[in-house]
């Protein structure tokens, strides 16, 4: 059976596709018995429990969420694309599927966006880009820097920016029948700089990414090696930090962070500043937030 938290994430993705506004939710824990706290935009809040992890309880959980959201959103979600009536969760072997009452539409929970593919010209423009993003994700398409989608003469067209490692043929195949207009962009790379002291900051060396936008929040402290659980790359004091993939972590016993050439850049215990921003790691309340760092500064 699927991982429970991943299954719940897929369930809420299905509810959100045709929702008129956002659905906020979080779990109080990552294993049953658990409860989801759900608030669609500024509507009422519900707390819906899942007592155990079996197919019958998943169906009950999905149905109670469906009934609550139907009332608060004043529309049925997720709707059958053929009849616009709400789909019902049903058991199929050891899985939960959405079924239309009329019997002519079905898909597994979490696959609703996939089942709507390809988008027709009547589709809401704001829905097509997330649908295409999910389509790319399911097919493990790599090398896309960014993309946008628009309707031209009754056909959906995606303008895709590809990194040098992007395979244009794979992108076109994955997007079909959406037309792809592709162009290449500069590769993301690391740049090592030495900066003198200023009125605002001591002298430092920096390892920065070129080719990606950075959120400008700063996290300062002493650099520490993270544990082996893969939760993060490094620690800054007690904060968990994930370095963007172009940065490299050195093996135990040596320098902690290496530059793009494999040369030592930062040692454990260095006084550092990470530039980036905090992000949630998942939907479970109380999970440690991760600081996603695109630039690492080491102070002399």
Per-residue confidence (pLDDT) for residue 65, from 0 to 100: 97
| Residue-level pLDDT at 214 | 57
Instruction: From 108, 123, 145, 142, select the one nearest 17 (Cα to Cα).
Output: 123
Taking 70 as the pLDDT cut, the residues of the chain under it are: 1-2, 188-189, 210-215, 230, 245-246
**C-alpha–C-alpha distance, residues 250 and 261, integer Å:** 12
List, in order of start, the domains of the chain with CATH numbers. 4-115 (no CATH), 125-184 (3.30.300), 189-299 (no CATH)
Yes or no: say if 234 and 223 are a contact pair by the CB < 8 Å rule.
yes
- Please give the full DSSP string across 209-259, using - where no structure is assigned: EESS----EEEEEEEEE--TTSS-SEEETTEEEEE-TTSEEPPTTS-SEE-
The pLDDT value recorded for residue 213 is 60
The backbone torsions φ and ψ at residue 125, rounded to the nearest 5 degrees and listed phi first, read: -55, -35
pLDDT digits (tens, 9 = 90+) for 136-185: 999 999 889 889 999 999 999 999 999 888 999 999 999 999 999 999 98
**Alpha-carbon gap, residue 40 to 212, rounded angstroms:** 32
Dist CA 9 CA 25 (whole Å): 10
Q: Which residue has the tokens 């079924």?
A: 99
pLDDT at 234: 93
Q: What is the pLDDT of residue 263?
A: 86
**272-299: pLDDT as tens digits:** 998 888 877 778 887 778 898 888 899 9
């Amino acid at each position: 059976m699927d991982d429970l938290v991943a299954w719940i994430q897929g369930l809420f993705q299905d509810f959100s596709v045709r929702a008129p506004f956002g659905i906020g939710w979080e779990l109080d824990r990552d294993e049953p018995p658990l409860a989801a706290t759900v608030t669609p935009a500024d509507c009422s809040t519900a707390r819906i429990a899942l007592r155990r992890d079996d197919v019958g309880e998943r169906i009950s959980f999905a149905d109670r969420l469906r009934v609550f959201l139907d009332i608060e959103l004043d529309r049925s979600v997720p709707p059958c694309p053929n009849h616009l009536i709400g789909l019902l969760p049903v058991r199929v072997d050891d899985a939960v599927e959405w079924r239309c009452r009329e019997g002519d539409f079905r898909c597994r929970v979490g696959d609703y966006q996939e089942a709507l593919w390809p988008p027709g010209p009547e589709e809401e423009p704001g829905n097509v880009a997330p649908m295409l993003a999910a389509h790319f994700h399911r097919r493990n398409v790599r090398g896309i820097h960014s993309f946008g989608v628009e309707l031209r003469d009754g056909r959906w067209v995606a303008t895709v920016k590809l990194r040098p490692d992007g395979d244009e043929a794979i992108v076109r195949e994955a997007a079909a029948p959406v037309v792809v207009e592709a162009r290449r962009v500069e590769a993301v790379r690391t740049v090592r700089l030495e900066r003198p002291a200023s009125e605002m900051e001591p002298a430092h060396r920096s390892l920065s990414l070129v080719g990606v936008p950075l959120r400008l929040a700063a996290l300062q402290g002493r650099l520490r090696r993270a544990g082996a659980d893969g939760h993060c790359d490094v620690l800054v004091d007690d904060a968990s930090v994930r370095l963007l993939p172009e940065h490299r972590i050195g093996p135990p016993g040596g320098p902690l962070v290496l530059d793009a050439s494999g040369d030592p850049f930062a040692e454990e215990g260095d006084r550092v500043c990470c530039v980036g921003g905090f992000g949630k790691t998942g939907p479970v309340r109380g999970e440690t937030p991760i600081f996603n760092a695109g630039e690492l500064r080491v102070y002399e």
